[in-house]
Amino acid sequence: MKIRENKRPCGAIFLIVFCLLLLPHTALAWPGLVVGISDGDTITVLRNGREQVKIRLYGIDCPEKRQAWGNRAAQATGRLCTGKVVDIQETDIDRYGRTVAVVALPDGLTLQEELVAEGMAWVWPKYCKLPVCLEWSEIEGKARDGKVGLWRDAEPIPPWEWRRLEK
């Protein structure tokens, strides 16, 4: 009996790629040890124990360092994740070459969610397009109503407007 030779190996490759696309995005996440904080929305993680990767937090914007609440936002980020192994779910690369990602903390919550809940970040409507952004916006509304963090200020200025005014 002669076994038929498969002349279409790309069919198997297509099937594997198709199955990978069906996996939840978190299945494609990678772990990293947080080794640095640049500001409230930018961290550095150690990937595979040797490669430092700068991560820009997806979907949120924290006050700039020279802006009101900027230093406190950076401190909050440090308190929440420095020295911890987090899961990095990449979404993009920004114009500065940073990996844009959703960062899951060891307790399963995202760093973004925690910063928004503590009133240390805005959900950035221009860039936050994933379904989770609706949840983060609701959390932001609760922080705003409760005057948590930067929402204690009478009229906090979103960082994207502050940067525009500084130019």
Candidates 98, 113, 114, 140; catalytic one: 98
Dist CA 10 CA 52 (whole Å): 35
Using alpha carbons, list the distances in angstroms from residue 16 to 21, 23, 26.
9, 11, 18
Let me know if 98 is a catalytic residue: yes
Candidates 5, 8, 47, 64; catalytic one: 64
Q: Tokens for 156?
A: 């906090």
Residue that is written with structure tokens 């990449």 in the block: 90
Let me know if 113 is a catalytic residue: no
The answer to whether residues 112 and 58 touch, using CB atoms and an 8 Å cutoff, is yes
Candidates 4, 56, 95, 135; catalytic one: 56
Let me know if 163 is a catalytic residue: no
Residues known to be catalytic: 56, 64, 98
